[in-house]
Amino acid sequence: MAMGKRAVERQEDLFVMHDKLPKSPGHVFYIKLNRLLAEAEFDAWIEALCEPYYASGRGRPSVPPGVYFRMLLVGYFEGIASQRGIAWRCSDSLSLREFLGIPIGKDSPDHSALTYIRDRLPLEVHSEVFIKVLAIAHEKKLLRGKTVAVDSTTLEANAAMKSIVRRDTGEDYHEYLTRLMKERELIAADATPSVDELRRFDKTRQDKKVSNAEWTSKTDEGSRIAKMKDGTTHLAYKAEHVVDLDTNILLAANIYHADEHDTATLEDSVQQAQANQMDAGSESRIEDVAADKGYHAAETLATFAEHTPYRTYIPEPQRKHGNTWTDKPPEHKAAVYATRRRTRGKRGRALQRKRSEVAERSFAHVCETGGARRCWLRGIEKVRKRYAIAAAAHNLSVLMRALFNMGTPRGLQQFKLDLEGLLASVFSWLYAAWLRLTTTPRAARCPTTTNRALAVRIAQEIPSKTAPDSNALFQRAANSAGSTTPLQYDKP
């Protein structure tokens, strides 16, 4: 066979036959996911839901809503955060084009089409998609919803700290530092300090503080100054998950301002999770709520005890001094003591271990491998839209893993490696068992034999070529027969 050479310059064909166009057999994960969505009649349902937001019979047809939401699902499954990356990946992959239902010869939607559709569809539509996935989980018997865990994390906003301005004067940070230097007469009134001078002055200030009450971002007003998980300070949002501890299904995934404390958003998140379950057709009611010590507050625990049917399992943070109840209502004291008693019990400790495992795993899937740790949109409503679909994709991943033993397209490759490892382990065990059977004397292979005379007779039948190790073999045969007296084998 002659070697082919790659053409540096080539001229494309003017006409290409349809049967000559490249086709893809599709990815098995996306094929099964499409079957799951088709079984739930997802496309007909979402088109009927989005129809009021389009002009019927006017203008050219838009990108189907089913294609838009599938592209956002691809962003989660492929770990792509930006819309440009999602659009490029869908246009580059034949298997993803098959998943989206885009025929050969037509272009896939670009990032601007995704932006137009997101701006057109309100947050309620994205939330209904999340509830629809919960309904599918309920139909598949994967929604329990009685014991939940609550936890939160920070998401980096699409805005830099350099964009913050004063709420009162509108000054940016450099203008603010310049004014401070002029007030302290460190520079002349008409002078303009350099960036290095501003930096050195900022390091020497003692009362340096940047709070959300005084500063805001001019590019993303919904973001707030917050400390991230790695200790750095960024403009961020807060994401809070309510996870079903029995099935790992997300019952609610809410986005809040980063300066809202966990104790202030706990009740809203749990109530939203219960409402989502009811909208999904489930009759389950949340009974137990587990959270970490950041959610512990006497007022919050009293509110749960008096106005909700939920039992809380929240550990107390370590304090230098004990609680003082003289200036607080007696209901606060009763709620704190009741929660302490439940949390320190056997079930409370088990729920805390389960919570730390399941809740943190949900953030790892959605934020790390799912690409939602950094927001590429500006505005809290837009971030909520995108995060709702990421949470729905997480629930679809749990469904796929339970039904087909594959949670992501990349997880199928890991399943192949796990299967190969299992087969290799079984083969190694069988080979080791065969070696033991072929190299062990017959007396050792009969541990149930209790006749001492039979053990001695079997040991004496050992060939003479094994005489240097005959005493050890003779003693092992006698021990297998139940003898504890040291024996000596005499050569014949």
Tell whether 282 is covered by a domain. Answer: yes
Residues 76, 184 within the same domain: no
| Dihedral sign, Cα of residue 217, residue 223, residue 224, residue 226 | negative
How far does the chain reach from its first CA to its final CA, in angstroms? 72
Q: Which domain holds residue 480?
A: 440-492
Domains in the chain, number = 5
The helix, strand and coil proportions of the chain, stated in percent and rounded to the nearest 5, come to: 55, 10, 35
Q: From the CB of residue 406, how many other CB atoms can be counted at a distance below 10 Å?
A: 19
Residue type, 176: Y
pLDDT tens digits, 275-305: 999 999 999 999 999 999 999 999 999 999 9
- Percentage with pLDDT > 70 across the chain: 85
Residues 241, 357 within the same domain: yes
Residues recorded for the chain: 492
On the question of pLDDT at 446 being above 60, the answer is no
DSSP helix/strand/coil, 444? coil
Kind of pairing, strands 311-313 and 288-291? parallel
Give the single-character DSSP code of 230: T
Tell whether 76 is covered by a domain. Answer: yes
Token pair 């996935």 is found at: 133
Residues 57, 165 within the same domain: no
Residues 337, 468 within the same domain: no
Tell whether 65 is covered by a domain. Answer: yes
Residues 173, 114 within the same domain: no
HSE on the CB side for 340, CA within 13 Å?
Answer: 12
Read off the pLDDT of each residue in 218-230 and give the average, rounded to a whole number: 89
Residues 202, 278 within the same domain: no
pLDDT at 491: 42
Name the residue with higher pLDDT: 14 or 42: 42
Say if CB 163 and CB 242 are below 8 A apart.
no
Tell whether 37 is covered by a domain. Answer: yes
pLDDT tens digits, 320-371: 887 788 888 889 999 999 999 999 999 999 999 999 999 999 999 999 989 8
Residues 337, 459 within the same domain: no
Domain boundary among 359, 379, 399: 379
Residues 106, 251 within the same domain: no
- Local confidence band at 163 (pLDDT 50, 70, 90 cut-offs): confident
Residues 353, 448 within the same domain: no
Tell whether 486 is covered by a domain. Answer: yes
Name the residue with higher pLDDT: 57 or 39: 39
Residues 265, 349 within the same domain: yes
The radius of gyration computed from the CA coordinates of the chain, to the nearest angstrom, equals 33
Q: Which helix (H) or strand (E) holds 151?
A: strand 147-156
The DSSP result for 407-434, as a single string, is SSHHHHHHHHHHHHHHHHHHHHHHHHHH
DSSP helix/strand/coil, 142? coil
pTM of the prediction? 0.78
pLDDT at 52: 92
Tell whether 322 is covered by a domain. Answer: no
Residues 296, 147 within the same domain: yes
Tell whether 10 is covered by a domain. Answer: no
DSSP helix/strand/coil, 148? strand
Tell whether 154 is covered by a domain. Answer: yes
Residues 153, 166 within the same domain: no
Say if CB 215 and CB 166 are below 8 A apart.
yes
pLDDT tens digits, 96-149: 998 998 887 788 899 999 999 999 999 999 999 999 999 999 999 989 989 999
Distance in angstroms (rounded) separating the CA atoms of residues 56 and 46: 16
Distance in angstroms (rounded) separating the CA atoms of residues 67 and 338: 50
